[in-house]
Amino acid sequence: MGVAGGGIGTGSEQLASGGPLFRISALTLPRDGGAVVLVELAHLLGDGATFYRLCAALDAELRGGSRVELIWGEAVPPCYRAPGHMTLRDQWRMGVLPMKYAFPLQARFGRKRVSQIAVVDRKALRSFKKADGAASKAGFVSSNDVIMSALAEVYDSTNILMHVNMRGRAEGARAEHAGNIERNIFFPRSLLAARRGPAFLRDVILSKLYYWEAGRVPLVPFLLNSVGIATNWASLTRFMVPTGTKVLAHCPLSSFVEALPVDLAVIFQAAPGGPICINHNLRTRKMLFRWRASTSRRWRALVVPLDASVPWFKRYAELLAYWTAVVTAGLSAGVVGGWACACYLGPI
């Protein structure tokens, strides 16, 4: 496993693209002398839960805290990654087809992107959870259900893929297991964006963990690359904080990937005890996005766009501008199809 940056050293293992499987980079901000720590992990090694548990393990080593166990290489049944009821044709349509044919074309000839970091209004979120929960068979909906439904209102994609962490859900899959222990569920965007969207999502997750029945996966949406991805890291977010510092801001770097072949949104926690944020990178037209955002019932009420006039947002905006320059310079290039997050650190 290669680690580089800040004089840490470099290992030999690499991806086919030439990038490292794992990397830590330490940078200094030119304006205020604060530090930015970039952590990158190839998806080949693990999912978002693995990434943040690794951050927690590194944090424990740095500060001498309780050891965080992380088990690598233990066999995990493949059924955790794909619904067991699906046929090979179903899995080919949902996986191989877009990856092999549609995604490269979209990356090369796709539309310009609309990227944004937005903060979720907690008061509005609580209001929607109370109202939408009454429509669910379970009698409640989660924050994730409401935010996913709001995202569906501004997505172009016909189908939205949601990652579900299977640790604690599937027998034998525990929090300390590293790897890609997740199930991907595709939902029609129209159902998620409907008035009953959060309740629909909650009922599917609690009942069967899949939407498309065996043999019913459509061909055209995936052939045309009409696929979006949404993933929620808010409850998983763990921070690596060297002694004598504190996290001022934290953010995934998904918004800076220019050639991303799908819509992508990451829900995350901006700082310890801080607000829930959405980092989205959508392949759509700006005018269309603005119209959808202004007419969306949930998105309009839930989302507060990044505003540099607010002190907390101002610091965040400056940091994002610096990250853009860093990524453009190629520092974070190479870890393709993986996780890349940065923490802005300041003195306590």
pLDDT tens, residue by residue, 178-212: 988 888 888 889 999 998 999 999 998 888 888 88
**Confidence at residue 298, expressed as pLDDT on a 0 to 100 scale:** 93
Tokens for 301? 């009420």
Q: What's the alpha-carbon Rg for the chain, to the nearest Å?
A: 20
Percent of the chain past pLDDT 90, that is, above it, reads 19
Digit-coded pLDDT (tens) for 31-56: 666 777 888 888 888 898 999 999 99
Digit-coded pLDDT (tens) for 146-168: 999 999 999 888 889 888 888 88
Digit-coded pLDDT (tens) for 97-146: 877 777 777 767 766 678 888 889 989 999 999 999 999 999 999 999 99
C-alpha distances out from residue 286 to 19, 40, 153, 209, 290, Å: 32, 30, 15, 34, 6
- Residue 28 neighbours by CB distance under 10 Å: 11
What is the helix, strand, coil percentage profile of the chain, to 5?
35, 25, 40
Q: Which residue, chain included where needed, has tokens 């899959």?
A: 173
Q: Per mean pLDDT, which of 70-79, 237-246, 305-314 is the most reliable?
A: 237-246
Name the 3-class secondary structure at 311.
helix
The predicted model scores a pTM of: 0.84
Digit-coded pLDDT (tens) for 210-264: 888 888 888 877 777 678 888 898 888 888 888 888 887 788 877 666 667 778 8
Do 244 and 121 touch, CB atoms closer than 8 A? no
**Confidence at residue 340, expressed as pLDDT on a 0 to 100 scale:** 78
